[in-house]
Structure 1
């Protein structure tokens, strides 16, 4: 691993990131062909937050949060700090003191493929966090790593400046080069979902709206009355 800090990487446009955040993780994930999801292992420490921001990435050694301290200086308003480690770790690498420093700099939240602590304090100060673990286990500040280099979480590559979306459904990364296309695709998906929502409110069934009835026959699904089912002895 090259121990390096990349300063001032290009970032996705703030207005596009805001638009994507408004649609939510699940909608954007579907709209983008089900790509970019960081998996069910990264979960919110508390429910109820929905954020979008640009990634400042950190690659740290397990149990060592030195490079998070280094990364704070590189953060701008509208960023989300994204942290992973060179091998699996559940140690509590981040707490409310880090959050205090990041809030001052306008950072919107944290995504970390390791542990966090001070969960009650993070909730009270309204600093949203998505993590792989919650752990009181502390860390050291001893080993160099990297800031603003590509990192991987659950097989997904996050590059500095990419759009990161996070809500109760998890975390999604949209590459900076794809953000404009993602905004258009997410809006189309949201419009389609709203049309379906209105139809369901009128009583229409998904079987009919999505043209599924014909598929049932091909799958060998048959409809029988309760009496016929009993006569067959299928129960």
Structure 2
């Protein structure tokens, strides 16, 4: 007979980014971070910021992954207990829907613990209370149904959340455009690329403001025959 797993498995010691590494991502647009990752890195767009796109929101910090089953919350509760200031709790629900992955009180406890954001591929509830709590949160929608806390769950490991694998200790950068995961082993390389990307974006924006609207590369493709024009 297969043994039942423990209700909770918790890993407290995992590599974490340094304070300087975390600081390098503050107020950096997620689009810049994706560019530094080669054009990828974002979770599926089912994940949206609570409060809508009109609300200015940005968060950056190390992931603390709470791997729950569908309709479960025990791992998230344990993650709050073990969270460190600056953490982003990332709660996996493995595609579970029609039940809340957290509500205003649990998000308020995350805020009290010093967490900077909450990300889940599940749904949230208590919208009015969440707005009062003010913790930046990204989720798959709203639903008032209650979750269970029976386990099993895992904290401090990894999980796939909205199509993107996240390991505890990875950098999470999130804004109104979405949630991006920077693998721990690539943090320094991404930081090194961000300076160049920020400069190139500023140059491009200045050209557009000055009236730029043509693409010489398209004319070059027509000239060398790799593109044809049919009138």
TM-score of the pair, normalised by structure 2: 0.88
CA shift digits 1:166-198 (9 cap, x unpaired): 101100000111111101112211110101111
Give the one of 13, 17, 20 matched to 2:18: 13
Question: Which runs of structure 1 show a deviation greater than 4 angstroms over 4 or more consecutive aligned residues?
Answer: none
Distance 2:133 2:76 in 1: 19
- Report the alpha carbon displacement of residue 24 of structure 1 after superposing the two structures with TM: 1.3
- Report the alpha carbon displacement of residue 76 of structure 1 after superposing the two structures with TM: 0.8
Q: 1:31 to 1:221 in 2, by over 3 A?
A: farther
Q: 1:195 to 1:67 in 2, by over 3 A?
A: same
* Local SS of the residue matching 1:134: coil
Q: In the alignment, is residue 82 of structure 1 matched against residue 87 of structure 2?
A: no
Give the one of 13, 30, 49 matched to 1:25: 30
Q: Structure 1: any 5+ residue segments left out of the alignment? A: 225-235
Distance 1:193 1:65 in 2: 41
Tell me the equivalent position of 1:107. 115
TM-score of the pair, normalised by structure 1: 0.87
- Report the alpha carbon displacement of residue 125 of structure 1 after superposing the two structures with TM: 2.3
Distance 2:95 2:47 in 1: 16
Distance 2:163 2:101 in 1: 21
CA shift digits 1:105-127 (9 cap, x unpaired): 11011110111011222122221
CA RMSD of aligned residues (A): 1.8
Tell me the equivalent position of 2:44. 39
Distance 1:100 1:72 in 2: 10
Distance 1:62 1:200 in 2: 47
- Report the alpha carbon displacement of residue 87 of structure 1 after superposing the two structures with TM: 4.7
- Report the alpha carbon displacement of residue 144 of structure 1 after superposing the two structures with TM: 2.1
Tell me the equivalent position of 1:228. none
Distance 2:73 2:31 in 1: 31
Q: Structure 2: any 5+ residue segments left out of the alignment? A: none
Tell me the equivalent position of 2:219. 213
Whether the aligned pair in 2 keeps the contact of 1:92 and 1:134 (CA below 8 Å) is: yes
| Aligned pairs for 1:90-169 within 5 A | 90-169=98-177
Tell me the equivalent position of 1:227. none
Structure possessing the higher radius of gyration over alpha carbons = 1
Q: 1:88 to 1:153 in 2, by over 3 A?
A: same
Tell me the equivalent position of 1:232. none
CA shift digits 1:40-88 (9 cap, x unpaired): 1111112320110100001112112122111111111110000112453
Moved more, 159-168 or 112-121: 112-121
